[in-house]
Amino acid sequence: MLARSVSEVPVGHYAYEPKWDGFRCIVFRDGDEVELGSRNGRPLTRYFPEVVDAVRARLPERCVADGELVVTGPAGLEFDLLSQRIHPAASRVNLLAESTPAELVLWDLLALGDRDLREEPFSFRRGELERILAGGPPAGVHLTPLTREAAVAEDWFARFEGAGLDGVVAKDLDLRYLEDQRVMYKVKHERTAEFVVGGFRWYKADRTAVGSLMLGLYDDGALMHVGVIGAFPAAQRRALVEVLAPYVIETGSGVSEPAGEVDSAGGGESGGRGESGGGGGNWSASSPAGRRRACISRRSPGRSTSPRTGSPASKAPGWTASWPRTWIFVTS
């Protein structure tokens, strides 16, 4: 179940919740077996062993729930630290589970025991979720706050931005759980910034379309990778191929368009801030990898700030890794 963007908090027969800045997560438990999955069906279980333990401790033996994985720090939510939790090495996964543990914030209950709750109204599902989480310490699994007052939701929207909350979500109290449909409403904080387009990934479902664009900012003349964006309509994905074609670099073999990495998330809503995280860093045209890639900038290099933290890009957490080597880079 998805949300569509609106410019203001809607007023009516709604429940309002904070919009958490983390990884969307569907939780399946059947006895000791626990599976964590992303909104796009990607498995997350192996990356968050501490959350698996928390689910076993806090949720009923047979249930399906919907929520968000988050990592918190002294200043609030830490999306960059959460992104670093997606790592291929088991030793690194276990180390990060200890040093930057994730927690699960739940907001919906899809099934309980043998009962499918998706046809029940949201108000009923919320009541059941409150019941199963009542009592005892949170122990890594939390119930998201909820209000039925639009004025309270507007206060949350304004007051908790500094803590990393992404905005506010409104849900009709009678709403059934409808997979892959945008039947909720979200009001998000909007900020604008100018970025360098440093490269792109192909769309997973169509190798003639762009899946996502790599974005960068300059810091004292060094180009720093700050993330990706992939929420494009299908027609625009194909049009971007022609827009970027003149800037694709030539390799030493003379191939004018080297094979790019497939965007396995398919762009979409998670493309800008998805589970792949997106490390940061700089590159040098004189380095072995740099000889195969360059960048395009619409402005002169200068000191830039992080769009997330307001701090110099080179000092932002999680931005110290190198640019992903398999992405196509473009040049002017």
User: Mind telling me the catalytic residues?
Assistant: 19
> How many other β-carbons are positioned within 10 Å of the β-carbon of residue 62?
15
Token digits for 93?
């996964």
**Angle at which helices 49-58 and 90-99 cross, to 10°:** 60
Number of separate helices (H) and strands (E) present in the chain: 6, 17
Q: Are 112 and 61 in contact (CB under 8 A)?
A: no
> How many other β-carbons are positioned within 10 Å of the β-carbon of residue 234?
12
Spell out the residues 6+ positions from residue 28 whose beta carbon is closer than 8 angstroms to its own. 34, 35, 36, 37, 64
Q: Are 241 and 226 in contact (CB under 8 A)?
A: no
Say how many CA atoms lie within 13 Å of 48 toward its Cβ: 31
Query: What is the β-pairing status of strands 182-188 and 167-172?
Result: antiparallel
CA distance 64 to 42: 16
Residue 233, judged by CB atoms within 10 A of its CB (0-12, 13-18, 19+), counts as exposed
Distance between the two ends of the chain, CA-based, in angstroms? 41
Q: Are 33 and 64 in contact (CB under 8 A)?
A: no
Spell out the residues 6+ positions from residue 38 whose beta carbon is closer than 8 angstroms to its own. 23, 24, 25, 26, 44, 270, 275
